[in-house]
Homo-oligomer: A and B are copies of this chain.
Amino acid sequence: MKIYLTPGPSENYFIVEEAIKEALKNKVTAISHRSKEFKAIFEHTVSELRELLQLPANFSMAFTGSANEIWERILQNCVEKESFHLVNGSFSKKFYQFAEQLHLSPSKYEVKFGEGFEVENINVPSSAELIAVIQNETSSGVQFPVENIAKIREKNHDKLIVVDAVSSLPYANLDYSVIDSVYFSVQKGFGVPAGLGVWVYNDKMIEKAKNLEAKGKSIGTYHSLLELDKYAKQNQTPETPNVLAIYVLGKVAEAMNKKGMAMIRRETDYKAELLYHTLEKTEFLSPVINDKVKRSKTVVVANVEKGTSSDVVAFLEKKKILIGKGYGSYKDSQIRIANFPTHSKELIEQVADFLMEYGK
């Protein structure tokens, strides 16, 4: 059986299969989302995630169908007219386009695909209400160092700052005192089967949604931030949710807490270092991003300098390793390798050896 190092969905976290079998045995999929059994599952998952992410008390958490849905809900609930977006890849661009589709007037600071942002060049219009930061762009493998978010906050105390950490959590060590919201989907860094988004938000986000609703703006229906929050306070969801994924996510977060985030971060750093070092040494592959501080630790992207991405993918597939091609127009010329907590040091060492052999 192949091992998946695709940048999401990716290989399940190692306890997932067991957790699903346990869920089936205990009929977790048959329980009502209004039952005390469900509330206990919800509470366990939230509590383990709070510990894992070290969330302060003024942050809450709700579940949606996907991170894409969270883009939509953020714009509906927390932006009256103008959101400001950092754009440097396909996903950050899509978030900006969502704002246009919802008839808002978004503004942006856009750099080329695969480039990072210079924090001193980020000029947020005073009219913008919310700043959408892309901490880790899954399409291009560029990271925005977490320390730089504080620098944006320094100049923008009156605005909401929401952070896309879809493919970097739980690795990304965020400073929650300088942000208002962060969100992710479970099929990347957490290694949980897809179909669940996690939205973390603080009181300021709630206040904004309340203000917009009071002003007469429609903030949505069953998944408005206020509805999600109202139910989350009772360890529930507005609708029947993906109970199985909520259950499994709790088990994964629990296992990660037992291992410890310090250890997970050290391992991630080591594996990322090894992959980038290998790409620099290989003859026919090279890192897309030159500036080391802008290189994502969790999604490693490389240019293919001999053959196409299909050749690299096929080469590794023969060795039972599955990696991703580049995104969108970089489909043929780039490869993407996930470096998530589920991918062991031994596995990445093996992948590094294989990459050295490519093209020879």
Contacts and interface: CB of A to CB of B under 8 A. Distances in A.
B101 A194 contact: no
A32 B220 contact: no
Nearest to A25: B1
Nearest to A219: B101
Contact of A240 (B29, B187, B221): B187
Interface stretch (A7-15, A77-85, A152-160, A290-298): A7-15
A8 B240 contact: yes
A244 interface: yes
Nearest to A8: B240
The copy count of this chain in the complex is: 2
A101 to B, nearest CB: 5
A338 B27 CA distance: 16
A9 B64 contact: no
A17 B102 CA distance: 41
B102 A218 contact: yes
B27 A4 contact: yes
Contact of A29 (B12, B94, B102): B12
A359 interface: no
A27 B2 contact: yes
A32 B31 CA distance: 29
A139 interface: no
Contacts of A4: 27, 30-31
A71 interface: yes
A69 B237 CA distance: 13
A59 interface: no
Contacts of A114: none
Contacts of A318: none
B185 A240 contact: yes
Nearest to A95: B221
Nearest to A227: B101
B66 A241 contact: yes
A86 interface: no
Contacts of A238: 68
A20 interface: yes
B194 A241 contact: yes
A308 interface: no
Interface in A141-185: 185
A-B residue pairs, 7 tightest by C-beta: A195-B242, A65-B65, A29-B193, A4-B30, A68-B239, A98-B221, A194-B240
Given A71-B221, A101-B220, 8 more contacts: A10-B30, A12-B29, A29-B193, A32-B324, A68-B223, A71-B222, A72-B222, A72-B223
27 contacts: A1-B27, A2-B27, A4-B27, A4-B31, A6-B32, A9-B30, A9-B240, A12-B24, A12-B27, A17-B24, A20-B20, A21-B21, A64-B65, A65-B65, A65-B239, A65-B242, A66-B240, A67-B239, A68-B222, A97-B221, A98-B222, A101-B218, A101-B220, A102-B220, A195-B242, A195-B244, A244-B244
